[in-house]
Structure 1
């Protein structure tokens, strides 16, 4: 196979990633898979689905949150005002559902993950800071959903 054939394959592979049939996740329809990127996506999916490290399902309730410490959240459906900035950080309206939060978190983290900006030091630093803010906001919202207490 000549250099131009391989170059054509790479270009077709890249175009398949961003075309109308694009789906995120392991291999993402790429011809040349990146095992590290695939493992990172699988780990993120497992975390967001509440699976433990062994691949089993963590002990969660019907809404996907742990039963431990959930009594404080039983009567409180409206989040406290202190979490308003966290919903804004995820680009969501105040009081968005758990499913909306998870989807926005996953989308933003994939977009702003530092590994996507590894070729440019300045962009990588910005992406690291942005992903840290996204993680912190999502963690505070999830902690409130699980315990009923905001930081």
Structure 2
């Protein structure tokens, strides 16, 4: 068990210090870049929600002012002007975000394939390290496998 534990520790140390020039690590880095783009779009979508909420609040305020007992047309005109600016801002943000979302979405197929290849490349690297690290253990197993498969437990001690 101690030897198995040492094998795992050696592999973990080697793998965590894996060179960034190796293909699996470089692909993983590209996937991380894509995730940064996705998170930027998500963050911007929250600002879009805020812009829409501000526009909607302006529309509701105008509606409230128009239903008042004493209608103040100058005040309504000011709110209509500011609400129109909020609407234009919301539309501009929406158009900008939609363009960014389309760009990020268009990359999805190649990025998911990249993530798939990066994952399996890392697994292959891990397997290679495992094979090298456990060479002695595997030799021991192969040497004693038949002996332990054919033993009669009832005849022991």
User: What is the TM-score of this pair, normalised by structure 1?
Assistant: 0.28
- Greater per-residue helix proportion: 2
| Relative contact order higher in (CA < 8 Å, ≥ 6 apart) | 2
User: What is the TM-score of this pair, normalised by structure 2?
Assistant: 0.27
